[in-house]
Amino acid sequence: MAESAGTVETKYYFFDGSFRLESDALLENMVIAYETYGNLNSEDDNAVLICHALSGDAHAAGYHPGEQKPGWWDDMIGPGKAFDTEKYFVICSNILGGCKGSTGPASIYKETGEPYGLTFPVITISDMVNAQKLLIDYLGIKKILTVAGGSMGGMQGLQWSISYPEMVQSCIPIATTYKHSAQQIAFDEVGRQAIMSDPRWENGDYYGKEHPFGGLSVARMIGHITYMSDTSMEQKFGRALKKKEYGYDFTQEFEVEGYLRHRGNNFIQRFDANSYLYITKAMDYFDIQKNHSLFRAFQYIKKTKFLVIAFSSDWLYPSYQSREIVKACKMNGIDVTYCEISSDYGHDAFLIEFPEETKLITHFLEKVKNDLVYAKK
């Protein structure tokens, strides 16, 4: 019976050196918020790194004291779950540039005593991964059994595999891509423009004043449309009205309107608008090929095993993008398994279709673990 990871707390890692970013900028006093579930074994071969998506955070599983809502991937992480905390030592950290404990644009810049705002340097997926690497080193972990994540979490997984191939035993990229496409950049850019065209944004210098809530809410609403599918929206809302009849006005009339506004309003209470800009920008920069071919990007990977998962109705990160990753792995002789899960839930499926994900991941991790034990003998 699957149980909860229990009461958990967010911890903080303070890096006191200078952290060099891909842009060559230096970041001082970097903090990385993280949580861990389960225990690192004496062989140091059961560490699992979970990477979160755009609006996620370090709180992936279990409950914070006094809270009713568990972490964002609690269905997948805990005793007897896909990432079984009785077997694995699971780590999740808030990304660099985020607003849930790790250093980001809302953090105080030591030199000025004010929030960074737009003086925060632009970051990339590689920078997020390199910051996580410092945390992993600090935790005394030499090898990672698997790096797993959906959406932007999958991009981090791919980047980990390519940046630190000797360290990553396996990788589970879910509902993700190897490069942001023009359409993916376009959706992100519209979200950014919604924020930046809100006069309250004030070039990012809104802290202590009214925040650009209108723009941020619109950005989130756009996001939510892309996270669902035409089918799931039709099934969930159709043309259902909140009232009995048409009101012939601009209040929330259709259920789907109410849902989107609710999602937008929820989001602005927990997310920083500047973080939204920085994180979407990092995704837009993401292209693991870096002016070369996808085949070449994977060429230094020897032993890392891949489980690539996509969802049939995900049109934000369509499955053909996952299949390209699989092809590049195959062409490099990399051990790769591909599964497309049939689902109507669109991109959100990676947060919903946990029974199937659990089966796939459970067996994959057992195999990776067994192969590792066998190799050591």
Chain residues that interact with a copy of itself, rule: CB under 8 A: 23, 25, 118, 121-122, 179-183, 185-187, 189-190, 192-194, 196-200, 214-215, 217-218, 221-222, 224-225, 228, 230, 233-234, 236-239, 246, 248-250, 254, 256-257, 260-261, 264, 277, 281, 284-285, 287, 315, 318
Q: In the complex, what is the shortest distance from the CB of residue 220 to a copy of itself, in angstroms, rounded to a whole number?
A: 10
3-state helix, strand, coil in the chain (%, to 5): 40, 15, 45
Q: Which is nearer to a copy of itself, 16 or 249 (CB)?
A: 249
Contact status, residue 340 vs residue 317, Cβ threshold 8 Å: no
**From CA 37, how far away is CA 89, in angstroms rounded?**
6
Closest to a copy of itself by CB, 124 or 146: 124
Considering the complex, state which of residue 236 and residue 303 has its C-beta at the smaller distance from a copy of itself. Answer: 236
Instruction: Give the residue with the Cβ less far from a copy of itself, 143 or 263.
Output: 263
What is d(CA 129, CA 51) in angstroms, rounded to the nearest whole number? 9
Smallest gap, in angstroms, from Cβ of residue 22 to a copy of itself?
8
Task: List the structure tokens of 71.
Answer: 């972490």
Q: In the complex with a copy of itself, which residue's Cβ is closer, 163 or 362?
A: 163
Shortest Cβ distance from residue 222 to a copy of itself (Å)? 5
CA separation (Å) from 10 to 87, 98, 129? 21, 14, 19
Active site residues: 151, 314, 347
In sequence order, the β-bridge partners of residue 115 are 108
Give the shortest CB-308-to-a copy of itself separation in angstroms: 19
Measured between alpha carbons, how far is residue 236 from residues 48, 256, 356 in Å? 35, 8, 21
Question: Residue 219: phi, psi to the nearest 5?
Answer: -60, -45
CA 49 to chain centre: 12
Minimum gap (Å) between residue 233 Cβ and a copy of itself:
4
DSSP code of residue 102 = S
